[in-house]
Structure 1
């Protein structure tokens, strides 16, 4: 086996070309997109589908097809509920991530502060 070059510098398989995640502003923008576009549009699409499905169930009343369409609609509703929960969870995680990183950085800084204050190199 022969190597024709060296791998690029930095950690292997780092997402985003070696950058760390995204900025707090990007996280906030993504959370806002979930809140202002994805959640309301998903709800609107669900309501439209529910109306059409209810009409179909009424149209097939007395047939086995009505029961089948109703079962599919119930499954759909459960999947939408799961999706809406996931969107809300992701929105909350995006909004909380920046604060979490900042608190983590402050906490680590606080752990190192006593070491620096006790150093014999202080005052040299």
Structure 2
């Protein structure tokens, strides 16, 4: 078992005390001129997660003692949703506010909100425990 750093322990404790919250989400929101190929985007995110252990780490507890569990082959999801260009910012905001439960969820989420063949909004969300 890999112990948590002091900062990770603090965030893990807050997650347990307050429940899952979006307070520690660190989103990066990008407006793109066109919609990227979803398969290519998923492959790029998968490559990123494979290279950085912290992005494939969850923080469960055994006997109330938290530890880092680095997953070998985590499920990497890119949530792609087609919507109007006017709705994309609101959908991206809602996505960025979804809580992350670090005890069993990866600290990285990716959302793509796009108009068919048109502009898109890409959200890369990292929980603070991984930053």
TM-score, with structure 2 as normaliser: 0.21
Greater strand share, structure number: 2
Structure ID, larger Rg:
1
Q: Whose helix fraction is larger, Structure 1's or Structure 2's?
A: 1
TM-score normalised by L of structure 1: 0.22
Higher relative CO (Cα under 8 Å, sequence separation at least 6) belongs to 2
